[in-house]
Each structure stands twice: as structure tokens, then as C-alpha cells.
Amino acid sequence: MNKASKGFSLVELLVAIAILGILASVGLVHAGSDRDQLQLDTAARRLQLGLERGRSLARRQQRACGISLDAEGWLPSAEEALPGELVACSGAGLALQEALEQGPIQLHTNLPPVLRIAANGLLIDGGTVVLSHGRLKRSRCLVVSLPLGISRLGLYDGAAPAGGEAPSSSRCRPDPGEA
């Protein structure tokens, strides 16, 4: 008499566990890359949002003001750094990343230390900002074009500027995904 087996052998269980482990690790690697890309895209949108906040404040208060950009994000300019009668855009501060998500995002910019905003919300200064992530090849960029101070987000063509190299606005291409 042959008795039917009512379970799995040890070898079968080990093979099934190994396959599940491989599948789970592939999902985790892909999720990490997606998280990094999301972090970079969010920082780029916050970069543009902070700029729009400053413009909105200047229009609402009908007063020219200035904001500054550093590695952490937008902040009202220090009073001693403001030229002439310009005031700080109080309330325009915005971090590029949430406190819990501080990662390897680098900021490269040729914006002046104080970005001046006219009372009608037009930007008086222009330049380019490139955001890069340490684990991604793709970089995001923001260009502030003069004379109207129009800003646009895009993808930076090529490697992010390194070693004090200034970012180039001509390398900031429109993102096909944002159309």
C-alpha cells in the first residue's frame, strides 16, 4: 500500500522561500528608485511653489520684496542682504524637502543671493536652478527667464553642474511628462 504524501518536503519549502525572497528583493530595489525619483520631483515642484509664493505675497501686499534660496529651500532674505528699500518676503519660506526625507539632493544655482520681486509680482532677477539626486542620473531644473520673470520646470540635459560650474538655461529641456 502506498500512502499519499500530505505535505511538502524540506527541499520544496526551501526552493519556494528562495523564489519568494528573490521576488521581494526585486520589488524593494525598484521601489527605492521610485522613491528617489519622487523625492527629486517633489523638491522641484516645491522650488517652483516657493517662487510663486513670493510673487503672490508681493502682489497681495503691493510691495517689492526679496527671497533667497539655499540648500534647504526658499527663505525670506536677511534684512542686511537686501538692497535699498527692499523688504523680505515674509511668509514665502518653503523647504525643498520634508524634514524626514532629507536625502542626497544637491542644489546648483546661478541665481543671485537675493531674488528681487516687484510689487506687481514680476521677477526682477533671473537664473537657473538644477536639482540632482545622488542615486539618480536624471536632474530637474527651474529656469527664471527675464524680462518678465517667467519660470518653468524641466529636465536638465546631461550631468548636473559640478565643481562650481554654473547651470545653463539652454540645457533645461521641457519635461515631456508634464505636457
CA–CA separation, 124 and 146 (whole Å): 7
Would 21 be classed as within a structural domain?
Answer: yes
Return the CATH number at 101: 3.55.40.10
Report the DSSP beta bridge partners of residue 160: none
Would 98 be classed as within a structural domain?
Answer: yes
Mean pLDDT by 10 residues, the chain (179 residues): 69 84 66 79 92 92 92 84 85 80 82 92 92 90 85 91 88 80
Per-residue pLDDT at 151? 86
Would 5 be classed as within a structural domain?
Answer: no
Per-residue pLDDT at 82? 83
CA–CA separation, 172 and 154 (whole Å): 6
CA–CA separation, 70 and 91 (whole Å): 16
CB 39 within 8 A of CB 101: yes
DSSP 92-151: --EESS-GGG--SEEEEE---SSEEE-TTS-BS--EEEEEEETT-S-EEEEEEETTTTEE
Per-residue pLDDT at 60? 93
Per-residue pLDDT at 28? 56
Quick check: helix, strand or coil at residue 163?
A: coil
Please tell me the pTM assigned to this model: 0.77
Q: Tell me which DSSP letter residue 57 carries.
A: H
Per-residue pLDDT at 93? 85
Would 26 be classed as within a structural domain?
Answer: yes
Which grid coordinates are listed for 73? 529651500
Expressed as residue numbers, the domain containing 109 is 10-178
Per-residue pLDDT at 148? 75
Would 54 be classed as within a structural domain?
Answer: yes
- What is the pairing mode between strands 73-76 and 65-70? antiparallel
Per-residue pLDDT at 102? 59
CB 127 within 8 A of CB 109: yes
- Counting the structural domains of the chain, the total is 1
Would 3 be classed as within a structural domain?
Answer: no
